[in-house]
Amino acid sequence: MKYKRFVWLAALIFILSVFNVYSQEILVVDNTIFNRPQRPAAVFDHDDHNEKAQLEEDCSICHHVYDENNVRIEDESSEDSLCSECHSLKKIPENSIPLRMAFHNRCKQCHFKSDKGPVLCGECHIRK
């Protein structure tokens, strides 16, 4: 029964590929977009961080969307985009927040405000 074997194989490949998609964990914020990064990539265990900080309800706290007048649209999320798809390395007319500032403002502002989470360079950019 060659056909049956094929079906099983196809099913197995399907299951493995689904598993693979969902097991891509984010443990640091990728810094390869920066030309010659000066610091080690910042530690950020995405799922664990957001669970501990109770940020799982509203992804748009970080993955936001703005309208053409640069007003934030509530309840809309850009979780399928990298920050760098909108925030360039240098300030551009369409977006006045360059990438490094976007990360620092988002991460550090909340840590300062909530008095939780790291605010010192070496606490995020940890040399391994």
**Residues of this chain that bind ligand HEC (CB under 6 A):** 26, 28-31, 34, 37-39, 41-46, 48-50, 52-53, 55-56, 59, 61-66, 70, 78-87, 95-97, 100, 102-108, 110-111, 114, 116-121, 123-125
Which CB atom, from 4 or from 69, has the smaller least distance to ligand HEC? 69
Minimum distance between the CB of residue 15 and ligand HEC, rounded to whole angstroms? 21
Minimum distance between the CB of residue 126 and ligand HEC, rounded to whole angstroms? 8
Which CB atom, from 75 or from 80, has the smaller least distance to ligand HEC? 80
CB 76 within 8 A of CB 83: no
Which CB atom, from 15 or from 26, has the smaller least distance to ligand HEC? 26
DSSP characters for the chain? -HHHHHHHHHHHHHHHHHHHHHT----B---TTSSS-SSPPPB--HHHHHHHTT-SS-GGGTS--B-TTS-BPTT---TTS-GGGTS-SS-BTTB-S-HHHHHHHHHHHHHHHHT-S--SHHHHS---
Minimum distance between the CB of residue 20 and ligand HEC, rounded to whole angstroms? 14
